[in-house]
């Protein structure tokens, strides 16, 4: 037989239902089941204690970041620690952890050094920082490379004095550090979250001291560059990346060595991509590779071997054109066919003659009208 609720029971329910869980309320209503308590509360429109109240959320906004676990449990006595962490995540709050669970040098990126500049170049090329809100964790610095390049990740792990382990996933090796201090320092150095999704106009280059630029660029070569050799055995150096990075590297090489490269945009089946590259060859490449890898502390082992081979390569010096040869080019380049000019300059190749002619401002074809100049 149904037993109607008394005014006293209803008053107690209104007072305590929003504050206590049903298990505790059942002790106050010994003649009621948990189900009937819930049904009556719903009919009265009472909010459940399971729902976070504005006052509780205010406590989280004020104390979630820095308060200890014990203090938060005391301030929110009807909430478990897992419930507090979950609500903090829903409110996009983040706890400020003093120290990562595993040891790492959290002050590493506060001071410039040769190796720090190299690792910063690594982060710009093949690393990333990730914003984490799950369970109030710190943000993450992460590296990922093909397993054949595991040597550099081991070196960086030692350099950061990190206890975090390298992890394998198929053909790739990953290394991650959860540290809010490190990520905050990297953000001051212009590293951004989800950098691969940012437009070129949003890119920023850190203000790198001059003596550390070569180390920063060296990982750009190790990570996104190529050292190879042409059919003569002469070295070639190319680097690819976002436009601002390529402009920064190109301008540094130009100002320091007066070596220039055009910045070209990558294409695939005629479609342009947000990827640019610069390239150098022969003596220019050898000069730049020597600058980047000579006396280097940190480097990718396989790239260093190629750099060492490059520095051992002897490149024949090209003889300058004489006044008589230049006069021949000026007089006959437009009027005579290729075979005739080669017979007159028998010690020169056609590509060399063309390059010299361009240096003299002469072109076999009128570029504007695409007609033979005769």
Residue 200: pLDDT over 60? no
What's the token pair of residue 58? Answer: 């205010």
More confident residue, 274 or 226: 226
What's the token pair of residue 210? Answer: 């001059």
pLDDT digits (tens, 9 = 90+) for 38-60: 888 888 888 776 777 788 889 98
Alpha-helical regions (H) of the chain? 7-16, 22-28, 34-43, 54-63, 69-75, 81-90, 114-126, 150-159, 180-188, 213-224, 243-257, 282-293, 301-311, 323-332, 338-344, 350-359
What's the token pair of residue 326? Answer: 């230049």
CATH of domain 108-198: 3.10.28.10
- Give the CATH architecture of domain 210-311: Roll (3.10)
Q: pTM above 0.75?
A: no
pLDDT the model gives residue 214 = 94
Segment 128-146 mean pLDDT? 78
Top mean-pLDDT range of 58-72, 276-290, 351-365: 276-290
Q: How far apart are CA 325 and CA 54, in angstroms?
A: 88
Q: How far apart are CA 223 and CA 11, in angstroms?
A: 70
Residue 336: pLDDT over 60? yes
């Amino acid at each position: 037989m149904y037993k109607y609720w008394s005014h006293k029971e209803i008053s107690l329910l209104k007072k305590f239902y929003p504050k206590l869980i049903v298990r505790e309320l059942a002790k106050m209503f010994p003649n009621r089941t948990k189900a009937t308590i819930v049904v009556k509360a719903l009919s009265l429109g009472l909010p459940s204690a399971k729902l976070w109240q504005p006052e509780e959320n205010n406590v989280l906004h004020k104390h979630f970041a820095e308060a200890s676990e014990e203090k938060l449990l005391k301030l929110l006595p009807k909430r478990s620690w897992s419930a507090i962490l979950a609500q903090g995540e829903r409110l996009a709050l983040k706890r400020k952890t003093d120290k990562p669970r595993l040891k790492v040098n959290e002050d590493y990126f506060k001071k410039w050094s040769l190796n720090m500049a190299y690792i910063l170049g690594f982060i710009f090329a093949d690393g990333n920082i990730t914003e984490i809100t799950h369970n109030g964790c710190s943000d993450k610095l992460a590296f990922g490379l093909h397993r054949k390049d595991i040597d550099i990740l081991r070196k960086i792990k030692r350099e950061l004095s990190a206890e975090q382990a390298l992890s394998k996933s198929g053909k790739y090796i990953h290394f991650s550090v959860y540290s809010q201090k490190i990520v905050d320092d990297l953000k001051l150095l212009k590293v951004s979250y989800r950098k691969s999704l940012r437009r070129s106009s949003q890119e920023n280059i850190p203000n790198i001291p001059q003596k550390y630029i070569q180390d920063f660029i060296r990982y750009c070569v190790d990570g996104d560059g190529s050292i190879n050799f042409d059919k003569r055995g002469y070295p070639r150096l190319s680097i690819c990346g976002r436009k601002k990075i390529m402009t920064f590297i190109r301008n540094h090489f130009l100002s320091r060595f007066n070596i220039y490269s055009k910045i070209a945009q990558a294409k695939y089946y005629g479609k342009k991509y947000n990827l640019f590259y610069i390239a150098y060859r022969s003596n220019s490449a050898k000069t730049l590779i020597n600058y980047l890898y000579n006396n280097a502390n940190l480097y990718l082992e396989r790239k260093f071997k190629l750099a060492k081979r490059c520095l051992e390569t002897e490149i024949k010096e090209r003889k300058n054109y004489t006044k008589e040869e230049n006069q021949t080019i000026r007089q006959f380049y437009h009027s005579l066919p290729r075979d005739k000019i080669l017979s007159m300059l028998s010690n020169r190749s056609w590509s060399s003659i063309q390059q010299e002619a361009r240096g003299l401002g002469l072109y076999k074809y009128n570029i504007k009208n695409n007609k033979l100049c005769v």
